[in-house]
Amino acid sequence: MSVVFSGDELIKIAIDIERRGISAEKDSLLFYYEMKENVPHHAAPVIDRIIAEEKLHLRQLSEVKKRLAAPGEPQT
């Protein structure tokens, strides 16, 4: 069995993927905040639910970032 990536390389790849995910979530939040300002008032609750979901994704990715930054620490 051959190894394509070492453990350190995999962590670097995972950190890069996570960083890109956080950037995409932030861009999404900016988009939906702007969209909310430009939709009819009755549509705002739908946009608010989408924003809440995007914030959840951002929090989840931030947790992943913390775990990747400290791989020796126990994970809960």
pLDDT digits (tens, 9 = 90+) for 55-74: 999 999 999 888 887 756 55
Predicted TM-score (pTM) of this structure? 0.75
Domain that holds residue 53: 26-68
Whether 68 contacts 15, CB under 8 Å: yes
**Residue 53 lies inside a defined structural domain of this protein:** yes
H-state helical runs in the chain? 7-37, 44-69
Domain count, the chain: 1
**Residue 7 lies inside a defined structural domain of this protein:** no
**Residue 36 lies inside a defined structural domain of this protein:** yes
**Residue 18 lies inside a defined structural domain of this protein:** no
What does the alpha-carbon distance between residue 54 and residue 65 come to, in Å, rounded to a whole number?
A: 16
**Residue 31 lies inside a defined structural domain of this protein:** yes
**Residue 34 lies inside a defined structural domain of this protein:** yes
Q: Is 50 exceeded by the pLDDT of residue 75? A: no
Q: Is 90 exceeded by the pLDDT of residue 10? A: no
**Residue 52 lies inside a defined structural domain of this protein:** yes
